[in-house]
Amino acid sequence: MLTPTEWTLVRLLMERQGTSVSRDQILNDVWGRYYVGDLKVVDVNIRRIRQKIESNPSNPSVIETVWGFGYRWKRSVQS
């Protein structure tokens, strides 16, 4: 089961399916513009979401990492 924050992050990525979303944009949209905590909060939450929704979290098929930028929800998922 996803937490409210995890669900907000998943919804953000799904709404922009196939489009790369920067870590900064995720941080602003999910935690708010004035968030002052650790910036790794995005990566930690992505890792937790992957553990919950991916069949193989070490080789994700749903949430792709866009190295040096952010994340992307894949357009289609193979079974």
Delimit the domains of the chain by residue range.
4-73
Determine if the pTM surpasses 0.75.
yes
Give percent above pLDDT 70 in the chain. 95
Burial class (CB in 10 A: 0-12, 13-18, 19+), 13: buried
pLDDT in tens, 6-37: 999 999 999 999 999 999 999 999 999 999 88
Which SS3 state, helix, strand or coil, does residue 64 take?
Answer: strand
52 by DSSP, 3-state: which? helix
d(CA 40, CA 61): 22
Using the predicted structure, report yes or no on whether residue 39 has a pLDDT greater than 70.
Answer: yes
Positive or negative torsion for Cα 48, 52, 53, 54: positive
Measuring CA to CA, which residue among 78, 64, 76 is closest to residue 20? 64
- Residue 72 is predicted with a pLDDT of 97
| Fold held by 4-73 | Arc Repressor Mutant, subunit A (1.10.10)
Structure tokens at 8: 């907000």
